[in-house]
Amino acid sequence: MDVLSLYELNTLIRTLVETSFDRTFLVTAEIASCDVKNHCYLVLVDKKEDSIRAEIRAVIWANRFRSISRVFEKSTGAPIARGIKILFEAEVSFHERYGLKLNILNIDPSYTIGELAVRRKEILERLSQEELIDRNREQEFPLVPRRIGIISSSSSAGYDDLMNHLTGNAYGYMFTCSLYEAVMQGDRAEASIISAMKQCADDADSLDLVVIVRGGGGQTDLHCFDSYELGKAIALLPLPVISGIGHHRDITVVDEVSNRRAKTPTAVADMILAAVRDYEENIDTLAQNLAHGSRNLTLDLNRGLTGLARRLEGASGNAQLQSHHLISTCVKGLKFAVKLLQNEKMVLKSKEGILKMLDPKHVLKRGYSISYNNGKAVKSVSDLRKGDNLRTVVYDGEIISSVSSKKKTRRKK
């Protein structure tokens, strides 16, 4: 057996590949990594249930990449980037030093658009099954959103638009805005935005709501906003979220799970200003209604009191007249009673004179006396015995005597 150098072996493999794969192929794959350095270097994978079953390196040479990427981004609204599925035309090549790879000649944007829509639909269905899709929308939007947490890049035009519109509002409203810096496009955007949301959750007590804004002209990378993890983070955030990621084409997962959605960062500011303005107008309306109601209530009470005063005046007159009649009747009755008392007094005086005439003292004064035996008045000689001591009462004193004999007088029949 001949001994070959590695170069010789690889040259043999190259010859075999070039003779066996002498035509181009249409291939579907997912971009696992994308590194643009004039040329675009890719790692492509084929997955089955999140498990990689095939992997290969690929390249789009610079002279083709400029036109392919321009058409792709214009059609899909996103650049060629990690996580995107593509349908491409490629030729198989083998290099003695760099090994096997695919040389991509063209990419069909329509396939990616369909794949992105399918992927977005699958994410939304998963969030719905986990009861997360409406969770942030069910949070009550603050009546007066004044403390705003802003997830954006400080260098973003969208952030500047939002801040200029909020701080320069015509109503003079004051807002407290806190920037939570995040990467808003590219492969690092998803993790960066989720990290910023965790910071907002930690500061939830000092915030009224969170807005996610990005700006930019032309088509930009929105692929990162069609993320299950990002959608879940918004759903679980204990604050209402407004999405304003500056696009007019498709509705992303972030838009679907947010409490409210605005097309641009300026529209986000308008939404916040409208909420505060509505609250102020409601307060003004309530104040006017309260003043109007108070005036009407005062008038009603005055009319009621006037009516009560008139009825009271009439009732008082009737009561006074009735009282006058009652008092007159009572006076007449009292006069009659006084007259009766005077008559009774005269009768009593007459009887008093008779009683005085019957007083025993007056009887004794005429020469009569009363004898007592053992404290009892003697009415008959039968009440006495020989030797009883008598006390005889006369007009001017008493006489003490003893019974020596008694004699009963017979009365004539």
Mean pLDDT over 225-231 rounds to 91
Q: Which fold has domain 147-278?
A: Rossmann fold (3.40.50)
**Who's near 38: CB < 8 A, 6+ residues apart?**
62
Mean pLDDT over 139-160 rounds to 92
Phi–psi pair at 66, nearest 5 degrees: -60, -45
Burial class, 60, CB count within 10 angstroms (exposed 0-12 / middle 13-18 / buried 19+): buried
Residue 163 to residue 155: CA distance in whole angstroms: 12
Residue 197 to residue 184: CA distance in whole angstroms: 13
pLDDT band at 248 (very low <50, low <70, confident <90, very high): low
- Bigger pLDDT: 311 or 166? 166
pLDDT band at 348 (very low <50, low <70, confident <90, very high): confident
pLDDT band at 316 (very low <50, low <70, confident <90, very high): confident
Residue-level pLDDT at 156? 85
Burial class, 243, CB count within 10 angstroms (exposed 0-12 / middle 13-18 / buried 19+): buried
For residue 373, give the 3-state DSSP assignment: strand
pLDDT at residue 57 greater than cutoff 90: yes
Range with the lowest mean pLDDT among 44-53, 257-266, 314-323, 388-397? Answer: 314-323
Residue 304 to residue 308: CA distance in whole angstroms: 6
| Cα Rg of the chain (Å, integer) | 61
The mean pLDDT value of the chain amounts to 87
DSSP string computed for 109-132: HHHHHHHHHHHHHHHHHHHHHTT-
Range with the lowest mean pLDDT among 132-141, 233-242, 324-333? Answer: 324-333
Range with the lowest mean pLDDT among 85-89, 239-243, 403-407? Answer: 403-407
For residue range 176-225, what is the model confidence (pLDDT) as tens digits? 999 999 998 777 888 999 999 999 999 999 999 999 998 754 444 577 88
pLDDT band at 302 (very low <50, low <70, confident <90, very high): confident
**Range(s) of the chain covered by CATH 3.40.50.2300:** 147-278
Residue-level pLDDT at 385? 83
Residue-level pLDDT at 220? 43
pLDDT band at 396 (very low <50, low <70, confident <90, very high): confident
For residue 177, give the 3-state DSSP assignment: strand
pLDDT at residue 18 greater than cutoff 90: no
Residue-level pLDDT at 373? 86
CB 100 within 8 A of CB 92: yes
pLDDT at residue 320 greater than cutoff 80: no
CB 104 within 8 A of CB 90: yes
**Range(s) of the chain covered by CATH 2.40.50.140:** 6-129
Q: Which fold has domain 6-129?
A: OB fold (Dihydrolipoamide Acetyltransferase, E2P) (2.40.50)
Q: How far is CA 44 from CA 28, 162, 167, 235, in A?
A: 9, 39, 47, 32
**Who's near 46: CB < 8 A, 6+ residues apart?**
28, 29, 30, 52, 53, 54, 55
Mean pLDDT over 245-259 rounds to 81
Q: Per DSSP, which regions of 13-50 are E strands?
A: 25-37, 39-48
